[in-house]
């Protein structure tokens, strides 16, 4: 998805709603795929080698910063699979890495990506999982407001049951959300984040959000 003024001669059969188009542009800028003028960045050009959606391509391309390319291939395959019912991505990945033959769809995609990256999937270590997911979902990084309630980077709030293991984490990344009444979303899949890993993985927070925190105490 590019800025409309980038390719003025391109005619879309069914143009998306203006709001959706601008929202998509904003996300691509936040991911670092487009610059503030909606032109492709060097990162965006590099991401073109990955046959996945932009947010996952960014995670794959930037995973080398964490020495976590093998893990990123496994994460990308899991996110692309869209068939996993596990609430914990950590547990889902751990199981697949231990017994890949049980998950042939995931295994095939993970091996395809790892081959493209030139790494061995068997070298994957789960430690940087939260950081990788923050690369892919920067707008869904959340800070604890009160037990079970988080303010996301996009300004929205999201909740978890109080008995959920993530309900008391200071920071998390919400990978999957479901809508509910009252304007809040329910987090259906997520992973915890440390503040250190958050600042390392997401420039939006390590740079822009420091100023934002100064304007709004306690903001993400």
pLDDT tens digits, 53-109: 999 999 999 999 999 999 999 999 999 876 555 678 999 999 999 999 999 999 999
pLDDT of residue 209: 42
**SS3 readout for 94-109:** HHHHHCHHHCHHHHHH
pLDDT greater at residue 109 or residue 9: 109
In a domain, 86, yes or no: yes
Task: With CA atoms as reference, report the closest residue to 212 among 155, 135, 170, 169.
Answer: 155
In a domain, 193, yes or no: yes
Residue 207 pLDDT grade (very low, low, confident, very high; cuts 50, 70, 90): very low
Q: Say if residues 110 and 147 touch (Cβ distance below 8 Å).
A: no
Tokens of 167: 């309900």
pLDDT of residue 215: 36
In a domain, 219, yes or no: no
Q: Where are the alpha helices (DSSP H) in the chain?
A: 18-31, 42-47, 54-62, 69-81, 89-98, 104-117, 129-136, 195-201, 203, 209-215
Sequence-ordered list of residues with C-beta below 8 angstroms from that of 8, at least 6 positions apart, any chain: none
pLDDT greater at residue 1 or residue 110: 110
In a domain, 35, yes or no: yes
In a domain, 2, yes or no: no
Mean pLDDT across 34-42: 93
If asked whether residues 177 and 209 sit together in one domain, one would say yes
If asked whether residues 141 and 180 sit together in one domain, one would say yes
Mean pLDDT across 23-51: 91
In a domain, 122, yes or no: yes
pLDDT per residue over 146-175, tens digit each? Answer: 999 999 999 999 999 999 999 999 999 999
Q: How far apart, in whole angstroms, are the C-alpha atoms of residue 17 and residue 24?
A: 11
Q: Say if residues 71 and 82 touch (Cβ distance below 8 Å).
A: no
In a domain, 3, yes or no: no
Angle at the Cα of 149 from the Cα atoms of 94 and 170, rounded to 5 degrees: 60
pLDDT of residue 123: 96
pLDDT of residue 181: 66
pLDDT of residue 202: 62
pLDDT of residue 15: 66
193 forms beta bridges with: 171
Q: How far apart, in whole angstroms, are the C-alpha atoms of residue 66 and residue 89?
A: 18
Q: Residue 197: which domain range?
A: 137-214
Q: Say if residues 191 and 133 touch (Cβ distance below 8 Å).
A: yes
Q: How far apart, in whole angstroms, are the C-alpha atoms of residue 210 and residue 215?
A: 9
Mean pLDDT of the chain: 84
In a domain, 105, yes or no: yes
Is pLDDT of 185 > 90? yes
Q: How far apart, in whole angstroms, are the C-alpha atoms of residue 127 and residue 134?
A: 13
pLDDT of residue 23: 78
- Name the 3-class secondary structure at 186: strand
């Amino acid at each position: 998805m590019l800025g409309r003024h980038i390719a003025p001669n391109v005619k879309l059969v069914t143009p998306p709603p203006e709001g959706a188009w601008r929202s998509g542009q904003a996300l691509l800028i936040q991911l670092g795929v487009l610059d503030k003028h909606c032109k492709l960045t060097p990162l965006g050009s590099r991401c073109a080698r990955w046959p996945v959606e932009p947010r996952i391509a960014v995670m794959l391309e930037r995973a080398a910063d964490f020495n976590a390319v093998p893990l990123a291939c496994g994460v990308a395959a899991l996110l692309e699979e869209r068939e996993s019912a596990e609430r914990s991505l950590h547990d889902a990945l751990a199981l697949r890495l231990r017994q890949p033959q049980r998950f042939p769809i995931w295994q095939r995609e993970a091996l395809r990506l790892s081959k493209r990256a030139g790494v061995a999937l068997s070298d994957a270590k789960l430690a940087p999982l939260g950081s990788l997911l923050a690369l892919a979902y920067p707008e869904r990084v959340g800070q604890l407001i009160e037990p079970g309630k988080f303010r996301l980077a996009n300004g929205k709030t999201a909740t978890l049951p109080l008995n959920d293991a993530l309900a008391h984490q200071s920071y998390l990344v919400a990978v999957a959300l479901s809508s509910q009444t009252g304007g809040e979303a329910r987090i259906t899949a997520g992973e915890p984040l440390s503040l250190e890993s958050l600042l390392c993985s997401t420039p939006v927070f390590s740079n822009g959000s420091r100023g934002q925190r100064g304007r709004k105490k306690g903001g993400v």
